[in-house]
Amino acid sequence: MFKSAFLTAIISGVVATIACLVYSNFYAGLLVDFTEATSVVAVLSNCMMVSMIGCFVYFGLSKIIKNKQFAEFSFNLLVTMASLAAVFLFLKSDDPEFKNEDAQMMIDYYKGFVMPMLFFPALSWMTFKPLFIKP
């Protein structure tokens, strides 16, 4: 069971990272280049960290809660609440300083740029979970 959850977390983290990088490059071509604050290393480490935390929480809940449907519901509820909490925490955070003048002028759009990426690890987990974790 843990092996399946771990594999799901690794694949979800990598796919979420790729999705974030594609999104940030698309956004850079569309409006402004914020990739200075969303480097590959930062995005990869954040997506992998969130996915691995999800792995351990999922495994722990599946061991504690014997009813599989309730364990799934509890995990999905926690993931949803954590994603929404991340949005509110990010809204309260300080804006980064950009060396790129265009990015610095468009700093008001930065938080709106990052917010969708906060949901990518959860979406990746929920997408790949049925392939690797059997009910």
Return the structure tokens found at 117: 């990426």
Q: Which of 116, 120, 117, 113 is nearest to 96 (CA)?
A: 113
What are the sequence ranges of the domains in the chain? 2-129
Q: Which pLDDT score is estimated for 84?
A: 93
Which tens digit of pLDDT belongs to each residue from 39-66?
889 899 999 999 999 999 999 999 999 9
Residue 85 has pLDDT above 90, yes or no: yes
pTM of the entire predicted model: 0.87
Average pLDDT of every residue of the chain: 89
Per-residue pLDDT band at 105 (split at 50, 70, 90): confident
